A and B are shown apart, each in its own frame.
Chain A
């Protein structure tokens, strides 16, 4: 029972379903709002603090992240205000110091918002910005739930439970795909696929031309989920050889 509400973005009137993510709406209307931890297919998390906007509701105007702000009737949304820009620049500076090896995506954002100077000591080798996209994808879309945050405060980190090699990860690579700073390494060699960050290595199936398709665990998981036979997704290289 979707309720349609009316609200404004920079003075322009828009309609949306009540409760939709404001960031998704902003993007639908073509507004450019930076974000590193949002994906429309996942529940919003609000960790990277880049998608800041100001929202006026009644008499109160407040700064909020737009990803986890549910659109409500009569709100007025303001983008790129001085307050938004000031905070966003500081967030980028903090992120760059936290993950100095983070690749171009983060750098590009920093450049766009004029962050050149980092006034904090750089964090060695770290690349992960703790956006949580990998674990949310694994849990909400893949359904495997192999990853989780552990620790808190400045010791928080992302990984497999107890920092031991995961026993449930099927190495589907979805986490690699969604990572906004490309810090999850996936490699394939010798008929195996591995992600070093999760300390996991599994054998792969091949297609009819002998090209690796996916890991056996992934094929078994997909077979279970779809009810299709495992062979649909490939065969073991050894079996192919024996067929010949």
Chain B
């Protein structure tokens, strides 16, 4: 692409691209997000391309960013009708091209069927999973090829940058972002505008702009999908931020475990550079700014801003006290403005559509939308983008489609490992930064794990404590030793060795870990154990006093036996038992040898439901 040296160049190029676009053009968009790639979407794309060539069709095959509905991948949308197919396999390709693309016929078997109502949906926007969302940030993922700058330009890309530089000027952009009350999507929820202002006014040069893409929460993948699906939106946000603040250097700190995000971001940076949208004298404005990718080694704590900055410097990633803010002294002690991927991706929208529009979405103190990765025991897992203020119930039931297999909802864990578990009674909570914090959880970066009746809340607390005791940087005694001790106590409880006084000790120690640790990791680490204790105390007590795990999860507290009256001697369980603990001849009662049983549940799950002879107590 020729280098663009003015705003007119940019708009002329955009006009050219848009003119070439034919809204009636036949196209097949295949999701190439990580989830769908794992389901085989690359093979599917190849199959589409090969068939299109073989049949000599005039059909565009586009590999797009993540559509969000990962549960049903690989996903395919057929244009121009926008017919939505799910779980598509290479064997479906010929039929799709011949019937749907060729004749407009809808293939029933590939449509999404609501697991609750049984209703089938033809178009993406009608599918309940999408219908209740508001996809400002994620919406374009499915429309564009993330490796194509032209695609991004075709949907208005970099027009916000041009507007910011040529119409508004740095001060007006800052006013707009301040007025929008955009809060940091990485977890802290600090207002981005105030951060920008602080950095802009701080003395010292150069100033740095950082995009935090060190997404480390188990089960969270929203930043990954934005970077993989629409990297230019993040880059544009960062350039606007840098222009506003007066920064010439930017970093994207991204996990090395996100190879696809790193690759696509690299392609996007290179093409933006070649087009004159990044680097020296951007669009002839006189403003210069470039971005480097810094790959993180995978330490969870490096998502903490000060640890991240030390890691960029090549030091051990340990948080430091923020008595002097990073906007004054960040990377190499220079003024540094750090925002999360999703925060940056919001910026072009705010510049283009104005703070009034942005702050019309959401609640009083939490504006705009938020992306959550909805996972766990819920029918429709995937990425959901919703306006702030939506209730948990709407997310879990309407978008998530409820609990699979006729199960019942028990809790939803929000905010990642430092978030909390909220019970059924709190499902009508309006989801925003402040309400979640008040409820003992937090927004975090947007993880949302749904749990059903088969989840033991003590076990859940143990899982998160285990994660955190390994992922704490280990600097503060309270966090390093405190989390280890909390884990030990909870681990003991799950093994039936809980003692009177344990729960009080958990509370006392948790308070100290949260109060006396240096950074937010320690400050929030007790949330999972405290919130489960607060809402599910009886479950802890059952473990300690009765040595029972009510959810029948904790291995030391359950036994598997075979009901003599129900067992038909079919040998299914005996064949599947990995330790050979089940004996019994065909058509005779089977018995589980408790000394050999490792409580893997295979017998319980494999016993035909009509007999249900394996009993867990």
A120 to B486, CA, bound (A): 10
Q: Tell whether, in the assembled complex, residue A95 and residue B481 are in contact, meaning their CB atoms are under 8 Å apart.
A: yes
With A87-B516, A90-B512 as known contacts, state yes or no: A153 contacts B505, CB within 8 Å. no
Q: Tell whether, in the assembled complex, residue A152 and residue B516 are in contact, meaning their CB atoms are under 8 Å apart.
A: no
Q: Tell whether, in the assembled complex, residue B475 and residue A91 are in contact, meaning their CB atoms are under 8 Å apart.
A: no
Interface residues of B in 295-311 (CB under 8 A from A): 299, 301
Q: Tell whether, in the assembled complex, residue A52 and residue B473 are in contact, meaning their CB atoms are under 8 Å apart.
A: no
Q: CB-CB contacts of A60-95 with B at 8 A, as 1s and 0s?
A: 000111001110100000000001001100110011
Q: Which of B474, B483, B484, B516 has the most CB of A within 10 A?
A: B516
Q: Tell whether, in the assembled complex, residue B321 and residue A64 are in contact, meaning their CB atoms are under 8 Å apart.
A: yes
Q: Which of chain B's residues has its CB closest to A92's CB?
A: B477
Interface residues of A in 216-243 (CB under 8 A from B): none
Q: Tell whether, in the assembled complex, residue A46 and residue B472 are in contact, meaning their CB atoms are under 8 Å apart.
A: no
Determine the chain A residues whose CB is within 8 A of the CB of B324 once the complex forms.
70
Q: Closest CB-CB distance, B411 to chain A, in whole Å?
A: 26
Q: Closest CB-CB distance, B37 to chain A, in whole Å?
A: 31
Interface residues of A in 71-124 (CB under 8 A from B): 72, 83, 86-87, 90-91, 94-95, 97-98, 119-121
Q: Is residue B500 contacting chain A, with contact meaning CB distance below 8 A?
A: no
Q: Tell whether, in the assembled complex, residue B485 and residue A120 are in contact, meaning their CB atoms are under 8 Å apart.
A: yes
Q: Tell whether, in the assembled complex, residue A152 and residue B478 are in contact, meaning their CB atoms are under 8 Å apart.
A: no
Q: Which of chain B's residues has its CB closest to A154's CB?
A: B484
Q: Closest CB-CB distance, A34 to chain B, in whole Å?
A: 13
Q: Tell whether, in the assembled complex, residue B476 and residue A154 are in contact, meaning their CB atoms are under 8 Å apart.
A: no
Q: Which of chain B's residues has its CB closest to A43's CB?
A: B320
Q: CB-CB contacts of A139-160 with B at 8 A, as 1s and 0s?
A: 0000000001101111110000
Q: Is residue A45 contacting chain B, with contact meaning CB distance below 8 A?
A: yes
Q: Tell whether, in the assembled complex, residue B475 and residue A69 are in contact, meaning their CB atoms are under 8 Å apart.
A: no
Q: Tell whether, in the assembled complex, residue B485 and residue A94 are in contact, meaning their CB atoms are under 8 Å apart.
A: yes
Q: Identify which of B474, B476, B488 contacts A120 (C-beta below 8 A).
A: B488
Q: Identify which of A72, A86, A149 contacts B512 (C-beta below 8 A).
A: A86
Q: Identify which of A47, A70, A130, A152 contacts B323 (C-beta below 8 A).
A: A70
Q: Is residue B316 contacting chain A, with contact meaning CB distance below 8 A?
A: yes
Determine the chain B residues whose CB is within 8 A of the CB of A155 once the complex forms.
470, 474
**Those 6 A-B pairs whose CB atoms lie nearest each other, nearest first:** A156-B474, A90-B512, A94-B481, A154-B484, A87-B516, A153-B470
A238 to B211, CA, bound (A): 61
Q: Tell whether, in the assembled complex, residue B483 and residue A49 are in contact, meaning their CB atoms are under 8 Å apart.
A: no
Q: Tell whether, in the assembled complex, residue A94 and residue B470 are in contact, meaning their CB atoms are under 8 Å apart.
A: no
Q: Tell whether, in the assembled complex, residue B488 and residue A121 are in contact, meaning their CB atoms are under 8 Å apart.
A: yes
Q: Tell whether, in the assembled complex, residue B473 and residue A47 are in contact, meaning their CB atoms are under 8 Å apart.
A: no
Q: Which of chain B's residues has its CB closest to A131's CB?
A: B477
Q: Tell whether, in the assembled complex, residue A47 and residue B472 are in contact, meaning their CB atoms are under 8 Å apart.
A: no
With A94-B477, A94-B478, A94-B485 as known contacts, state yes or no: A153 contacts B516, CB within 8 Å. no
Q: Which of chain A's residues has its CB closest to B299's CB?
A: A152
Determine the chain A residues whose CB is within 8 A of the CB of B484 once the complex forms.
153-154
Q: Is residue A48 contacting chain B, with contact meaning CB distance below 8 A?
A: yes
A149 to B475, CA, bound (A): 10
Q: Tell whether, in the assembled complex, residue B476 and residue A47 are in contact, meaning their CB atoms are under 8 Å apart.
A: yes
Interface residues of A in 136-189 (CB under 8 A from B): 148-149, 151-156
Determine the chain A residues whose CB is within 8 A of the CB of B200 once the complex forms.
none
A72 to B323, CA, bound (A): 10
The B contact surface, by secondary structure, is helix
Number of A-B pairs, beta carbon distance below 8 Å: 102
B→A interface (CB under 8 Å)? 299, 301, 316, 320-321, 323-324, 468-478, 480-485, 488, 505, 508-509, 512, 515-518
Determine the chain B residues whose CB is within 8 A of the CB of A65 once the complex forms.
321, 518
Q: Tell whether, in the assembled complex, residue A87 and residue B515 are in contact, meaning their CB atoms are under 8 Å apart.
A: yes
Determine the chain A residues whose CB is within 8 A of the CB of B480 once the complex forms.
130, 153-154, 156
Q: Identify which of B316, B320, B488, B509 contacts A68 (C-beta below 8 A).
A: B320
Q: Is residue A133 contacting chain B, with contact meaning CB distance below 8 A?
A: no
A48 to B474, CA, bound (A): 11
Q: Closest CB-CB distance, B422 to chain A, in whole Å?
A: 27
Q: Is residue A129 contacting chain B, with contact meaning CB distance below 8 A?
A: yes
With A69-B323, A95-B481, A152-B301 as known contacts, state yes or no: A52 contacts B516, CB within 8 Å. yes
Q: Closest CB-CB distance, B409 to chain A, in whole Å?
A: 32
Q: Identify which of A52, A120, A132, A152 contacts B470 (C-beta below 8 A).
A: A152
Q: Tell whether, in the assembled complex, residue B472 and residue A153 are in contact, meaning their CB atoms are under 8 Å apart.
A: yes
Q: Closest CB-CB distance, A99 to chain B, in whole Å?
A: 10
Determine the chain B residues whose CB is within 8 A of the CB of A69 once the complex forms.
321, 323
Q: Which of chain A's residues has its CB closest to B489's CB?
A: A120
Q: Tell whether, in the assembled complex, residue A90 and residue B321 are in contact, meaning their CB atoms are under 8 Å apart.
A: no
Q: Tell whether, in the assembled complex, residue B299 and residue A47 are in contact, meaning their CB atoms are under 8 Å apart.
A: no
Q: Which of chain B's residues has its CB closest to A63's CB?
A: B515
A154 to B471, CA, bound (A): 9
With A95-B477, A148-B316 as known contacts, state yes or no: A153 contacts B471, CB within 8 Å. yes
Q: Which of chain B's residues has its CB closest to A50's CB?
A: B477
With A49-B517, A69-B321 as known contacts, state yes or no: A90 contacts B470, CB within 8 Å. no
A83 to B512, CA, bound (A): 9
Q: Tell whether, in the assembled complex, residue B477 and residue A48 are in contact, meaning their CB atoms are under 8 Å apart.
A: yes
Q: Which of chain A's residues has its CB closest to B468's CB?
A: A153
Q: Tell whether, in the assembled complex, residue A154 and residue B321 are in contact, meaning their CB atoms are under 8 Å apart.
A: no
A75 to B606, CA, bound (A): 66
With A70-B324, A98-B481 given, can you name 16 additional A-B contacts, CB distance below 8 Å? A46-B475, A63-B515, A90-B508, A90-B512, A91-B478, A94-B477, A130-B474, A151-B474, A152-B472, A153-B470, A153-B472, A153-B473, A153-B474, A154-B483, A156-B473, A156-B480
A155 to B299, CA, bound (A): 13
Q: Which of A63, A91, A152 has the most CB of B within 10 A?
A: A152
Q: Which of chain A's residues has its CB closest to B501's CB?
A: A119
Could you jot down 26 A-B contacts, CB within 8 Å? A45-B475, A46-B475, A47-B477, A49-B476, A49-B478, A49-B516, A49-B517, A68-B321, A69-B321, A72-B323, A87-B515, A90-B508, A90-B512, A90-B516, A91-B477, A91-B512, A94-B478, A94-B481, A95-B481, A98-B481, A119-B505, A130-B477, A151-B474, A153-B484, A154-B484, A156-B475
